[in-house]
Amino acid sequence: MQWSLFLLLLMGQCVFITCQLYEYHFIKEQMSWDAARAYCRENYTDLAKVFDLTDMRRLQDSAQSQTEAWIGLYNITGGANRRWHWSLPGEEYTENKTCWGNTEPNDGAYPENCVMTGDKWVDAPCTHTYQFICYDETMKDNKTFHLITDKKTWTQAQNYCRQHHTDLASGLDQIYSEEFKKLQNSTALWIGLFRDSWRWSDGSNFSFRYWDMDSFNDGLNKRTCATTLLERSGRWSSAGCDQRKPFFCYDDELILIRENKTWEEALNYCRQKHHDLVSISNPEEQRSVQEGAKNASTPFVWLGLRYGCAARLWLWVTDYVVCYERWASGGRTEDCDMSAAMTTGGQHEWVSQRKNETFNFICIKH
């Protein structure tokens, strides 16, 4: 056995690089929100979107000043534009009438944008105060849920849960769990459900909101574009979209190249113009590569995975061994001139293909 191979197997290891799916860029130049969006769309992907608090910290770290800057969130004013979201990032809302009380949700004299539960769900003004239940993903004190008997407004409750636990209890699986029901015991409680008419510029459904309650009031019309207040720990406020401010763009980490190239040509292309041909080391990465592959013009897209003839094993172009894999059954042929590709449709599984075939491919940008 060759030494290098021996060392490789010895270190042999699945290295889990938690790779970010997008990168933030701070642009100092002051522009209106619309001009800022045009700038981001031409030079990067779009105005910045924020998935959770981890993203928010990354965004702040990419700023070189302490001012107020645009992000990609804006308000669709007028009409029935409100949309329900769970407070917990990544938990998707699906309509389910059986959860709501009779005639709920129904607003009242004022808009009712937050939800409390007794027996069934009821919409209420977010400024009302109730007890609430926090969800804790770390199982603090061996408990998934923590009942907080201090009454707070919905936003205060959300802040409390994010500070001391993970978030307000969110999603049907949590709210209809036995453990939740035991704590609830028919008292009126806030749950992590809210609605608003704010949208991300790139069409994402991210539910994360980080408003600064001292300066933000969702009743103020005309201030329909969102900013981050970098001197107030990044919390968000709103401003008139015509004002000129610096801004944040985001740039996707992956890019689909809709050109037909052999595997070697694809590798060279990615290394010259971007960083490398894409590698996949976990299910999250598989998912984002799938998203990119959907728009390809060929039935397969090349991955940065080739069969190493000397070593007789599959290796990523990054030199890592394969830890996570998603081969189609019967799709793997181990031969010297083989590399791996992902199917563009169906299950997006991997199949080996001769290196001289020509397909679209996906590069990592940085």
Ligand X SMILES: *[C@@H]1O[C@H](CO)[C@@H](O)[C@H](O)[C@H]1NC(C)=O
User: Can you give the binding site for ligand X, defined by CB under 6 A?
Assistant: 38-39, 42-43, 75-78, 81, 96, 98-99, 142, 172, 176, 185, 197, 203-205, 218-221, 223-224, 238, 259-260, 295, 297-298, 354, 356-357
Distances (CA, A) of 239 to 38, 69, 211, 221: 18, 10, 12, 10
CB 208 within 8 A of CB 71: no
Q: What angle do CA 15, 19, 25 make, to 5 degrees?
A: 155
State in angstroms the smallest separation of the CB of 67 from ligand X: 19
State in angstroms the smallest separation of the CB of 90 from ligand X: 12
State in angstroms the smallest separation of the CB of 53 from ligand X: 21
State in angstroms the smallest separation of the CB of 266 from ligand X: 13
State in angstroms the smallest separation of the CB of 118 from ligand X: 13
Closest CA to 56 of 171, 217, 226: 226
State in angstroms the smallest separation of the CB of 91 from ligand X: 13
Separation of alpha carbons 256 and 317, rounded Å: 17
State in angstroms the smallest separation of the CB of 56 from ligand X: 20
CB 193 within 8 A of CB 93: yes
Separation of alpha carbons 95 and 208, rounded Å: 19
Preceding omega of 111 cis (within 30 degrees of 0): no
Give every CB contact of residue 216 below 8 A, 6+ residues apart in sequence.
236, 237, 238
Separation of alpha carbons 132 and 143, rounded Å: 15
Q: Which is nearer to ligand X, 4 or 297 (CB)?
A: 297
Place of tokens 């041909």: 277
Separation of alpha carbons 210 and 89, rounded Å: 12
State in angstroms the smallest separation of the CB of 191 from ligand X: 13
Closest CA to 155 of 134, 127, 133: 127
Q: Which is nearer to ligand X, 70 or 320 (CB)?
A: 70
Write down the H helix ranges in the chain: 3-11, 33-43, 53-61, 154-164, 172-175, 178-184, 263-273, 283-293
State in angstroms the smallest separation of the CB of 35 from ligand X: 7
CB 348 within 8 A of CB 293: yes
Closest CA to 135 of 185, 170, 172, 183: 170
Q: Which is nearer to ligand X, 144 or 281 (CB)?
A: 144
Closest CA to 284 of 138, 90, 86: 90
Q: Which is nearer to ligand X, 212 or 325 (CB)?
A: 212
Q: Which is nearer to ligand X, 152 or 261 (CB)?
A: 261
Q: Which is nearer to ligand X, 1 or 139 (CB)?
A: 139
State in angstroms the smallest separation of the CB of 8 from ligand X: 28
Return the bridge partners of 358, or none.
Answer: none
Q: Which is nearer to ligand X, 247 or 320 (CB)?
A: 247
Q: Which is nearer to ligand X, 49 or 152 (CB)?
A: 49
Q: Which is nearer to ligand X, 13 or 43 (CB)?
A: 43
Q: Which is nearer to ligand X, 4 or 65 (CB)?
A: 65
